Homo-oligomer: A and B are copies of this chain.
Amino acid sequence: MASDKPPLRLGLIGTGFMGKTHVFGFTTAQRVFDLPFEIVLHAIADRTEALAADAARTLGFEKSSGDWRALVADPEIDLIDITAPNAFHKEMALAAIAAGKHVYCEKPLAPSAQDARTMAEAAEKAGVKTQVGFNYLCNPMLGLARELIAGGELGEIRSYRGVHAEDYMADADGPFTFRHDPAGGGALADIGSHALATAEYLLGPISAVTGECITVIGERPDGRGGRRSVEVDDIGRAFLRFASRATGCIEANWIAMGRKMQHDFEVYGSKGALVFSQERFNELHFYSAADPSGRRGFRRIEAGPDHEPYGLFCVAPGHQLGFNDLKAIEAARFLEAIAGRRPEPFGFRAGQRVQELVEAIQRSSREGVRVRVG
């Protein structure tokens, strides 16, 4: 039974971890949501023909190419999805935009806010839709957190503590990679971007930052038997001032031994508080000062159909979504934005914004002063 929906032909650049995750996301979104389009896995590209052909077979794409430009040039493709290394994002995205295609790009969007702005402006001028992969924000429990805050259930928000810590760079003998490149690399850019996006998602715009960026592992194997100096931060910290007058702090840390996914936050208001950990991302802990005396405490709310769009995945509460399900929500929201059903949830402007915050923190750290952000 052929779908009566218009097709949306996908061209995916990159076949690694994130490339696969995107395919999982689109595939699941197709089944779980009533999407405006029928997604077609049209073409996939990687550095070589062989890599791309292999991925096409595994992942179910119709065509493959060793040259990403072939996808951009393919008139049948509606959406270019970029999961290649960060350094290529700008060139690929601008080419795709120039070809009139919608663009979905993994984060960090670009090595500099200036580049990100260029990309966002190009997209706006071309009238195409864009998205950056802030999957953590697609968690129904973050939606609940925002709803609790926006609805006043926490009262006036006073303070915020956020962290994104993992240990994938904890091994001092791990090699120098593109993530260590001064142009756009470092823990703050790589994962601090998530912590910053979450902070603004929940509390609104940040107005000033004071940063401290620390390089702990000063050199790493260069892959050619030598050592290469590392200048990017392993740990980035910032004090945050929000336009709302709330204040807070965040930490990005990619050498936090033992941590696999500590994307956590705590929000304190005049009437309540929230505590969240991505390590158990199907839960949100909510304290309400309105509970009766002697009965107050952080309550562990488990994700369920009350927290949309959980119910589309499972009608029963407590069954839990997985990481790839968050990617499916992300993909679905982008398609809805492409169809004009909703605004872009995290367009290139959002990627630009986060990069501006990252750079403000880096500058604050370098110059030893507080930096205002627009």
Contact = CB atoms under 8 A, between A and B. Distances in A.
Given A237-B239, A257-B287, A251 B28 contact: no
Given A258-B268, A297-B301, A314 B17 contact: yes
A270 interface: yes
Contacts of A53: 1
Contacts of A166: 316, 318
B17 A315 contact: yes
Given A24-B28, A257-B269, A144 B294 contact: yes
Interface string A239-266: 1000000010101010111111100001
Q: Which of A17, A27, A260 has the most CB of B within 10 A?
A: A260
Contacts of A316: 17, 166, 168, 260-261
A172 to B, nearest CB: 7
Contacts of A57: 1, 3-4
25 contacts: A1-B62, A27-B28, A144-B294, A158-B216, A158-B234, A159-B216, A165-B268, A170-B289, A237-B249, A258-B268, A260-B304, A260-B318, A261-B316, A261-B317, A261-B319, A261-B320, A285-B297, A286-B295, A291-B299, A293-B306, A313-B323, A313-B324, A314-B324, A319-B322, A321-B323
A71 interface: no
Nearest to A315: B17
Nearest to A25: B31
Interface in A155-176: 155, 158-159, 161, 163, 165-166, 168, 170, 172
Contact of A249 (B3, B21, B234, B251): B251
Interface stretch (A102-110, A224-232, A271-279): A271-279
A300 interface: yes
A56 interface: yes
Nearest to A307: B294
Contact of A313 (B30, B287, B289, B322): B322
A-B pairs, top 9 by smallest CB distance, nearest first, are A260-B318, A322-B322, A258-B287, A294-B306, A299-B299, A261-B318, A319-B323, A297-B299, A297-B301
B168 A21 contact: no
A40 interface: no
A318 B63 contact: no
Nearest to A249: B237
B286 A297 contact: yes
A281 interface: yes
A190 to B, nearest CB: 13
Contact of A322 (B300, B317, B320): B320
A203 B235 CA distance: 17
Contact of A64 (B1, B216, B268): B1
A317 B258 contact: no
Contacts of A247: 212, 214, 235, 237
